[in-house]
Structure 1
Amino acid sequence: MKSAKIILLSVVMLLPFMAFRSVSKTVIRDDFKKFYDQYGVEGSFIMYDQKNDRYTIYNQEQMNTPFTPASTFKIGNSLVALETGVVKDENVVFKWDGEKRPLDVWNKDTDMKDAFKNSTVWYYQELARRIGEDRMKKWLKKARYGNADITGGIDAFWLSGNLRITPREQIDFLRRLHDNQLPFSERSMNIVKEIMIVSDTLNTVTRAKPGAGKQGQQYVGWYV
């Protein structure tokens, strides 16, 4: 593990409601390197401010590098599951299969809302199996989610398979979700935006999803 490269990707947005503009301003923050060096990781930071149509970027070269999405794909998986009717809403409970897993919160019956919050892998693997390869591939292509490559197993393609997404594509996907411009119903998108909430204080709502996985000899971490 000591020889493995660790990539930390931060994708953040500041998003008041307004239409997209054609040309964005960019601010490069090379001084952010010290924060990555402090923890011995490589990585990048991208913040998009929609009000001012401005990107703030550290390590611009990595913006178009594809990485495994790991658990950040729970955003896309949730949208497809809702749109295909695999679950009718975020409160549908799947029964735990009794297999002990590393986190106690995974070892119980759970619904999609809590599975998203707790990053319960088995729940989302079951969602993907119920969606099936044909529907999953169709919707990922339609939504332009990364390379939309689901090879590697219907219940593993975002973990150990070939699905890849770049930091820029993550921003694009989240911007379109925010503005209801993805090819899903408004209801599906609103449910997912609701379960993404991690804080709601002082008139500020933060929606996010972390993700961690391995890609070759790299450990990849996301916070989107």
Structure 2
Amino acid sequence: MRTEVDEGGAALLRAEGVDGAFVLLDAARGVTHVVNPDRAAAGYMPASTFKIPNTIIGLETGVIPDERFSLRWNGVKRSIPDWNRDHDLASAMKHSVFWFYQEVARRIGPERMKAHLDAFGYGNRDISGGIDWFWLTGGLRITPHEQVDFQRRLHAGALPCSPRSLDIVKRIIVLEQTPAYTLRGKTGLAVDERTTTGWLVGSVERGADTYFYATVLLGKDSDSKRLMPLRRSLTRALLQRHGALPGDA
């Protein structure tokens, strides 16, 4: 496996006036493309990308029995309208419903959560900061390289969990499916008093080839609205640049 630094990809980020990194594993060709290697090796709060392992752990522990699992909205209005209703597993993932996954994490509990993160080798495995906040404002950190490796192991069935759990998660993180490709992914956004961190991580199946990717964008605390669409547009441009997505996708 070799690594190639993508200076052209770095220019795409600079053209948008954002800092960050991109990692793409092209397993069939044995190459990892990296935009901004120093940033790609640093750890960041996973934010809502943690909904992927949170779902797997929920399924493995029985907190989430199946895809029909649902939770009732408690009537507390949040700033995102789609959160203000009941949700099942698929809709909670699609709309990145924070309260839903907070409740899942509470039911899992710290001991089982920590044991699974240790078994998965997920980031720095730090769940300090509260069982229902640690991935957003607590101690958990993960690098773009680690995000890509987690996606690779998820796709390959190489995580220490049942094939059923992995199959369910793979179904509910499909973003686009066409005759030419299947794009899976999960966004994340963390905002603290100084920095906004925006993620998009996932995989692309295109013909016989599978690619695994992670994009992280970094901005000021006031940049969250700008970074939200850029996560997707820059990721798409970078995936197209390396042939993971067709140019007209």
Q: Which of the five TM-score ranges fits, normalised by the shorter chain?
A: 0.7 to 0.9
In structure 1, the residue corresponding to 2:28 is in which secondary structure?
coil
Contact 1:68 1:215 in 2 (8 A): no
1:38 aligns with 15
C-alpha root-mean-square deviation of aligned residues, in Å?
1.1
1:126 aligns with 103
Shift of 1:38: 2.6
Tell me the TM-score normalized by structure 2.
0.78
1:54-107 Cα shifts (integer Å, max 9, x gaps): 111110112220100000000010000000000111221100000001111100
In structure 1, the residue corresponding to 2:157 is in which secondary structure?
coil
Contact 1:197 1:205 in 2 (8 A): yes
1:11 aligns with none
Q: Which runs of 5+ in 2 are unaligned?
A: 202-249
- 1:51 alignment partner, one of 28, 33, 37: 28
In structure 1, the residue corresponding to 2:21 is in which secondary structure?
strand
Aligned structure 1 segments of 4 or more residues deviating by more than 3 angstroms: none
Summarize the Cα distance change of 1:36–1:159 in structure 2 as closer, same or farther, 3 Å threshold.
same
- 2:60 alignment partner, one of 83, 86, 109: 83
Tell me the TM-score normalized by structure 1.
0.87
Is 1:185 aligned to 2:152, yes or no? no
Q: How many residue pairs get matched? A: 201
Query: Higher helix share goes to which structure?
Result: 2
The one-letter code sitting in structure 2 at the alignment partner of 1:43 is G
Summarize the Cα distance change of 1:200–1:102 in structure 2 as closer, same or farther, 3 Å threshold.
same
In structure 1, the residue corresponding to 2:29 is in which secondary structure?
coil
Shift of 1:35: 1.9
Query: CA separation in 1, counterparts of 2:109 and 2:145?
Result: 27
In structure 2, the residue corresponding to 1:87 is in which secondary structure?
coil
Higher relative contact order (CA 8 A, sep 6+): 1
Query: CA separation in 2, counterparts of 1:148 and 1:77?
Result: 13
Is 1:165 aligned to 2:145, yes or no? no
Is 1:154 aligned to 2:154, yes or no? no
Query: CA separation in 2, counterparts of 1:31 and 1:64?
Result: 19
- 1:199 alignment partner, one of 176, 181, 200: 176
Query: CA separation in 1, counterparts of 2:84 and 2:193?
Result: 29
Shift of 1:46: 0.9
Query: CA separation in 2, counterparts of 1:142 and 1:217?
Result: 32
